[in-house]
Chains A and B, each alone.
Chain A
Amino acid sequence: MHPIRCIPWGADLAKILVIEDDNETADEIVTALSDRGYRPARASTGTEGLERARDSDWDALVVDRMLPGLDGLAVIETLRNENVMTPVLVLSALSAVNERIRGLRAGGDDYLAKPFALGELTARLEALLRRPAAPRETTLRVGPLELDLLERTARRGHRALDLLPREFRLLDYMMRREGQVLTRAMLLEQVWNYRFVPQTNLVDVHIGRLRRKLDGPDENPMILSVRGVGFMLHAPA
């Protein structure tokens, strides 16, 4: 089975409202979301979307930037002003360079430029649905893996791991999102703090290094590759 289908966490509870005017895109998104066990609903105009978003409790919203009637950003701003804090993923065909900042400023939690891979959309949505553990914690644990955030040390079982600062950050990020698919773009944005598409599969190389340090010769691998999408850290069975 494809790993994405085995999302263990209560995804079936998640109700997601997709506000998107383009029928084809909306259908694709809705299908992909229900395939993954979410309960999606769709609104095709800004006004309808705003009403439905107010009407019931959603776990997340997917909002297109350009909508007939009421603009996507206006929808988000209105909701935020009414203290609706549901996580929002903004979709836009507009240039990522300018629009991303505006999207986030309006109250969106993440931004995805069209056209996008559906895997990217669901991974980002899942990240929004599962906000990571409070950053106050000083020790992260996933299975045998332990990360001491104060001492800046890592160990798997009894074996100490010698990590470079960036590898430490990478592992930190992945451990907070255990069992969650993380795309290359997400890792670049969050761990390296830069938004760009490298011409070489650099993220894979960095993950490869981390993997070699993490998994001893006879140990079960902890970082899975999710083909066509990204990577996932999980506790070995």
Chain B
Amino acid sequence: MRLPEALRSTTFRWTLAIAGAVAACNLFMAACFYLRTTMYLTSNIDAAIAEAASLIAASSPEDATESIIHRLRDDPRRVKLAGLFNPDGKRLLGNIATLPGTLALDGHAHATVLPRIDSNGTEAQSARAVAIRQPSGNIVVVGRDVDGMRDVAATVDRGIVLQLVPALLLALILGAWLSVRAQRRVEEMRAQASRIISGELQARLPIRQTRDPLDRLAIIVNRMLEEIEMLVRALAGVGDDIAHDIRTPLTRVRATLERGRESARSLGDLQAVTDRAIAGLDQSLAVVTALLRIAEIDHHRRLAAVDAVQLAETLRAVAEFYEPIAEDKGVALELEIETAAPVTGDRDLIFEAVANLVDNAVKFTPSGGQVLIALLHRGDGPVIRVADTGPGIREDEREKVIRRFYRSDKSRGAQGGSQGFGLGLSLVAAIVKLHGFRLVVASGAGCVVEIICGAGEPGEVELLPERLAAAPVALAAE
């Protein structure tokens, strides 16, 4: 069953195509060879008969007659032609029955058809022939039959058959073999793919280390599978996280309502309980709202309201916005503007992104610490940096914090109230991606997040521990 399928394969077809091309090439070369050979032979014949004709024409009538008779004497292959005609074109001597009217009497060789007459009878022969008029008015014709040239063609044909048939057979066999081999690999890959489809996400395509295209393709697909597997596993965790983040306030609401129902003695009591319940519900709603907002931004393929955004102005507004809350917490909020270059984007979304970064920074920086909002000038464009002196993000958690709903409970413990969602950075990442900017998360003595608005591979989240590790301290010193 496998062979017919192999014969239908692309590899096999390509092999056939190449074999065909080789055959065409061979035929072309044979044709060239044939042409060159016949041209060479013709020019040899031409030179010989022209010389003979001119010799005969120049000699005395007796010598000419003798030469023609001598010339025709020994001719077992019946290729030699010679004749002498009187000025009226009547045959005087030789084996040419009549003088063809078309033959020019110029002493040069021409292709023509001569009627041969000898002991075997009369026969028209294709020939090269030279005709010269003697001073006496008689015409000397010397020719040579070229039908014999067909032998050359036959030889060439035999050569072609001997060469092409084995070559084509070899190509067929090679093609079938390659095709079967490729087919076998595809079959292996299909088997692996069906394992993956059936849920074995850790399965990978086989790689043979041959660096052939199929191998390289398999490597690419495997890398893709790795990413998909990671995402799927992350998503599985998201469900739990969402449930957790929504359930916590809801449980509190339930408890509040239950207690209120038991213990409320007045309308005022009941109203107080209701207010607390509403606050708790708002908190659950905020989680859902934030989640939807991220999805909304994620799903936008392009920006709706694009404008030149003055980043300096945006950063000033964010700083001013967060100033009171930072002051209340005893966190110094500093602003450093290095460049005035505008970027193209959605003003509100960029504000939202920066605000979320600052929100996180202020939230996680302990009293006495510092948050720096900076607009830096770099070769490839402006860079927004928010650095804090908080606990930072552990290296193994850096990528996860950008994932929707990740709560870095260990290092950046949820602070309770409405402040603990791990959604801020996911939102920032979504906005950054929409703009084609880059987000860099680093951590050393504190947390440093950069939005790189310049050119480069957009939409990537980078984690660069070394380059920025000491950044907050250095900046604080400046």
Which residues from A are CB-within-8-Å of B224?
none
As a 0/1 sequence over residues 198 to 235 of chain A, the CB contacts with chain B under 8 angstroms (1 = contact) are 11111001101100000000000000000110000000
As a 0/1 sequence over residues 165 to 182 of chain A, the CB contacts with chain B under 8 angstroms (1 = contact) are 010000000000000000
B290 at the interface (CB under 8 A from A): yes
Residues 311-329 of B contacting A (Cβ, < 8 Å):
317, 320-322, 324-325, 328
A197 at the interface (CB under 8 A from B): yes
Closest to A166 in B: B320
Which residues from A are CB-within-8-Å of B293?
197
Q: Is the CB of B304 within 8 A of A98?
A: yes
Q: Is the CB of B348 within 8 A of A202?
A: no
Q: Is the CB of A209 within 8 A of B324?
A: yes
In the assembly, what is the distance between CA of A98 and CA of B302, in Å?
Answer: 10
Which residues from B are CB-within-8-Å of A201?
418
In the assembly, what is the distance between CA of A180 and CA of B213, in Å?
Answer: 71
In the assembly, what is the distance between CA of A196 and CA of B354, in Å?
Answer: 11
Which residues from A are CB-within-8-Å of B305?
97-98, 101
Given contacts A97-B346, A196-B348, contact A202 B325 (CB under 8 A): yes
Q: Say how far A121's CB is from chain B's closest CB, in angstroms.
A: 15
Q: Is the CB of B304 within 8 A of A97?
A: yes
Q: Is the CB of B325 within 8 A of A196?
A: no
Closest to B288 in A: A115
Q: Can you sample 11 A-B contacts with CB below 8 Å?
A: A95-B296, A97-B304, A97-B305, A166-B320, A197-B286, A197-B289, A205-B328, A206-B321, A206-B324, A227-B278, A228-B275
Q: Say how far B287's CB is from chain A's closest CB, in angstroms.
A: 10
In the assembly, what is the distance between CA of A200 and CA of B423, in Å?
Answer: 12
Interface residues of A (CB under 8 A from B): 95-98, 101, 166, 192-202, 205-206, 208-209, 227-228
Closest to B320 in A: A166
In the assembly, what is the distance between CA of A87 and CA of B356, in Å?
Answer: 34
In the complex, the 6 A-B pairs of residues with the closest C-beta atoms, listed nearest first: A98-B304, A196-B352, A205-B324, A194-B351, A205-B325, A195-B348
B363 at the interface (CB under 8 A from A): yes
Q: Which of A96, A97, A199 contacts B359 (CB 8 A)?
A: A199
Q: Say how far B308's CB is from chain A's closest CB, in angstroms.
A: 16
Q: Which of A95, A166, A200, A227 contacts B363 (CB 8 A)?
A: A200
B421 at the interface (CB under 8 A from A): yes
Closest to A165 in B: B320
Closest to A207 in B: B324
The SS class assigned to the B binding surface is helix
Which residues from A are CB-within-8-Å of B278?
227-228
Which residues from A are CB-within-8-Å of B347?
194
Residues 414-428 of B contacting A (Cβ, < 8 Å):
418-419, 421, 423-424
Closest to A98 in B: B304
Q: Is the CB of A227 within 8 A of B275?
A: yes
Which residues from A are CB-within-8-Å of B208?
none
In the assembly, what is the distance between CA of A206 and CA of B351, in Å?
Answer: 18
Q: Say how far B423's CB is from chain A's closest CB, in angstroms.
A: 8
Closest to A97 in B: B304
Q: Which of A97, A197, A202, A228 has its CB near the most chain B CB atoms (within 10 A)?
A: A97
Q: Is the CB of A199 within 8 A of B419?
A: yes
B-side interface size class: 35 or more
Q: Which of A196, A199, A200, A227 contacts B351 (CB 8 A)?
A: A196
Q: Say how far A56's CB is from chain B's closest CB, in angstroms.
A: 36
As a 0/1 sequence over residues 338 to 362 of chain B, the CB contacts with chain A under 8 angstroms (1 = contact) are 0000000011110110011001001
Which residues from B are CB-within-8-Å of A227?
275, 278
Q: Say how far B382's CB is from chain A's closest CB, in angstroms.
A: 19
Q: Is the CB of B317 within 8 A of A200?
A: no
Which residues from A are CB-within-8-Å of B356?
199
B297 at the interface (CB under 8 A from A): yes
Q: Add 8 more A-B contacts to A198-B359, A199-B421, A228-B279 (CB < 8 A).
A: A95-B296, A97-B296, A98-B304, A98-B305, A200-B362, A200-B418, A206-B321, A208-B324
In the assembly, what is the distance between CA of A206 and CA of B328, in Å?
Answer: 11
Q: Say how far B331's CB is from chain A's closest CB, in angstroms.
A: 13
Which residues from B are CB-within-8-Å of A192?
317, 321
Given contacts A201-B418, A202-B325, contact A95 B351 (CB under 8 A): no
Q: Say how far A205's CB is from chain B's closest CB, in angstroms.
A: 5
Which residues from B are CB-within-8-Å of A195?
348
In the assembly, what is the distance between CA of A202 and CA of B424, in Å?
Answer: 15
In the assembly, what is the distance between CA of A184 and CA of B351, in Å?
Answer: 17
Q: Say how far A182's CB is from chain B's closest CB, in angstroms.
A: 17
Q: Is the CB of B290 within 8 A of A197?
A: yes
Q: Is the CB of A199 within 8 A of B348?
A: no
In the assembly, what is the distance between CA of A208 and CA of B328, in Å?
Answer: 11
In the assembly, what is the distance between CA of A200 and CA of B304, in Å?
Answer: 27
B241 at the interface (CB under 8 A from A): no
Closest to B278 in A: A228
